[in-house]
Structure 1
Amino acid sequence: MGVAMAVCACAISAPVAFGVRGTPAVDNGPLWMAALFVFGAIALAGILAATRLKGVGEIRLFEEAVPVEDPGMIRPIDRSLRHILVSTPILIVLLVPALVMGLAANPWLTLVHLPLALDWLIRAGIAACWEKRHGVLLWRGYVPDRPWELSYSSSEGAVQP
């Protein structure tokens, strides 16, 4: 959902900013080097997130997840957020700053959320691969007192739409 909203924010704000401000001249200067550095850093962070390294690896967090004791407490998949691609309030939070930066400074700044979307997509892929490999579903927020804690349940018991 986050990836879809970040891409939608870029897809909405970029045409507006480029339409109003025009397309600035493109040079091979420090702006493009900085963009390449950011995407390279995100790719490196994604590789490190797929490890068990303490502090950066996601796999260790997945392996420390606790089993769900009462699967009836988990909302069925068909009532979860999996079917909602865009949440209007969050889209507005992403859209307004990108549009303001694109109109005020440089239209290329409307694409500022693409690195964020790439990071979220990489992390979602890591989690999906881990779930498939282990045959479980990861849940966050199963324990109301500790919403950051990960839990897992059998993928066979999940309610499908």
Structure 2
Amino acid sequence: MDRLVHHELRAFLTALLAVAVSAVVVGLVRGFPAVRISDRSAQTLAGFLAIWALFTFLENTRIKWFGEVRDFDAATPLAPETVLPTEDFWHDRPVQPGFLLVLVVPTLGMAFFMGSWMCLAPLVVGLGWAAKAARVAHWERKNGRVLWRGRVGSRPWELSCSQAGPRTPARTATDAPPAV
């Protein structure tokens, strides 16, 4: 089982790494392009961001065809005695190597044949994954539960939830044990 917020963050970090790898490879092969933003480019970018913000807003609702919050609310509760994996996100695997290849190879193909700026393509889907990670984290904090995916191997998209464990307060310098 995998925490849904970790899954989305892992996908987002993989997309960012795919952008970085693709940009470096395209830059080394074709040369690094000069950055010039015209009025038309700025308007296109602003339009894209406005449409993305609208769809992200709709996903944060409970509207039937758009909202994902209904899926979170309908997650199957796990039995309290279920032992859940404890994973350290940064030490276990913050990037998925196989998925990185799936993102980099087509991105490089598009960047070489369609234009250097296509190396930013994984960023488009990566922004959606980052927004979903934020949405999941907000839902978990608000409801006091943790969302999990992959409880049933044949249906990895099925969500389940468990009660959030007790939070441990952050240690401060005054809480530290005295130096010997």
8 A contact 2:15–2:103 mirrored in 1: yes
Amino acid at match of 2:19: C
Task: Report the Cα distance in structure 2 between the residues aligned to 1:78 and 1:25, rounded to whole angstroms.
Answer: 41
Shift of 1:12: 0.9
- Normalised to the residue count of structure 2, the TM-score between the two structures is 0.75
Tell me what 1:84 maps to: 93
Give the match for residue 64 of structure 2: 54
Give the counterpart letter for 2:148 in structure 1. Answer: W
Change (3 A) 1:44 1:141: same
- Find the aligned partners of 2:35 and 2:139 in 1 and give their Cα distance: 44
Which residue in the other structure is 2:14 paired with? 5
Instruction: Specify the SS of the correspondent of 1:54.
Output: coil
Aligned-pair identity (%): 33
Residue matched to 1:122 = 131
2:163 maps to 154
CA contact 1:20–1:103 (8 Å) conserved in 2: no
Unaligned runs of 5+ in 1: none
CA contact (8 A) 1:101 1:109 kept: yes
- SS of 2:94's partner is coil
When residues 103 and 135 of structure 1 are mapped into structure 2, their CA distance, relative to the original with a 3 A threshold, is: same
Query: In structure 2, which of residues 106, 129, 135 is the aligned counterpart of residue 97 of structure 1?
Result: 106
CA offsets, 1:7-53, max 9 Å, x none?
10110111221332231674637655444333322211111111111
Question: Superposition RMSD on alpha carbons, in Å?
Answer: 2.6
Q: In structure 2, what is the equivalent of residue 21 of structure 1?
A: 30
Distance verdict in 2 for CA 1:83–1:47, change over 3 Å: farther
Structure number with bigger Rg: 2
User: Which ranges of structure 2 fall in alignment gaps of 5 or more residues?
Assistant: 1-9, 168-180
Structure with more helix by fraction: 1
- Residue 73 of structure 1 and its aligned partner are, at CA, apart by 5.3
- In 1, distance between residues paired with 2:145 and 2:79? 14
Q: What is the distance in 2 between the residues matched to 1:89 and 1:46?
A: 27
